A = this chain, B = another copy of it.
Amino acid sequence: MFEKNESFLELGFAKLDCSRQRRTGLPEIVFAQTKEISQLKEIIISFKKNKVPLFLSRLSKEQYLRLKKHFKDLKYFSAARIGFLGKPYPKTGKTVSLVTAGTSDIPVAEEAGVFLEILGNKVERIFDAGVAGVHRILSFKNKIDRSKIIIVVAGMEGALASLVSGITKRPVIGVPTSIGYGASFNGLASLLGMLNSCSLGVCVVNIDNGLGAGYLAHTIINSDI
């Protein structure tokens, strides 16, 4: 009933989940932000040895440049702070709409966008379309309807997720961001706004968790559903 001991690589400070690809069909993603360079190097070496692809999320430019010296094939997507080691995935032919309320929400959105593109999906970007000028998002209704799922990234009051969900029959993944000040309380206002959406059909991931939204979207649209 249980997985065997062989299903992870023991590095002492980390147990690399080599069975993830088999279990979930998706590559291992290592959260780089709080890891030291020596740890990241050891992780990368293990993955290369096992010939499985590796994503590094929240990888800073500084971390990347230091790793690049050792791993020439490490690709870096600076807008998304994503590092990637591996071969490009085949095209899936699926499209995701990626909508942001403001310009400042783009870095979070790109975590999803870059992830989805690496995995072979098409991403339709609609940036800076917040509810203060509702005609902007309404003009993209057809484009939205033609994608399989919509990711809405918004800080401040996060109202855009409800609104988009109300104009389409597609599922909406809301990503609250910490963009805002004062009573935004680092994204709490947007998070609560999306959770209380008066439109059914919206689900939410953690504040600033663009990657989680991208991962979930890929899972949903590429399962044999």
Interface residue ranges, A against B (CB under 8 Å): 1-5, 7-8, 11-15, 17, 19-20, 23-26, 29, 31, 34-35, 39, 94, 101-104, 106, 125, 127-136, 138-139, 141-142, 148-149, 156-159, 162-163, 165-171, 173, 176, 178-209, 211-213, 215-216, 219-221, 223, 225
Whether the Cβ atoms of A184 and B179 lie closer than 8 Å is no
Q: Which residue of B lies closest to A115 (CB)?
A: B200
Contacts of A102 in B (CB 8 A): 31, 198
Give every chain B residue within 8 A of A190 (Cβ-Cβ).
196
Contact of A200 with B171 in the complex, beta carbons under 8 Å: no
Going nearest first, the 7 A-B pairs with the smallest beta carbon separation are: A182-B207, A3-B135, A159-B159, A203-B203, A189-B192, A132-B199, A24-B169
Other A-B pairs beyond A189-B195, A202-B205, 13, CB < 8 Å: A11-B128, A132-B199, A148-B223, A157-B162, A182-B208, A183-B196, A184-B192, A184-B196, A195-B205, A197-B206, A201-B215, A203-B212, A203-B216
Copies of this chain present: 8
Residues of B with C-beta under 8 A to A35: 103-104
Q: Nearest chain-B residue to A141 (Cβ)?
A: B1
Would B199 and A131 count as touching, CB distance under 8 A? yes
- A34-B179, A131-B198 known; A168+B23 contact, CB < 8 A: yes
Minimum distance in angstroms from A151 CB to a CB of chain B = 11
Query: Cβ of A15 and Cβ of B197 under 8 Å apart?
Result: no
Q: Could you tell me the distance between the alpha carbons of A139 and B101 in the complex, rounded to whole angstroms? A: 23
Residue of B nearest to A8 (CB): B136
- A205 and B203 contact, CB distance less than 8 A: yes
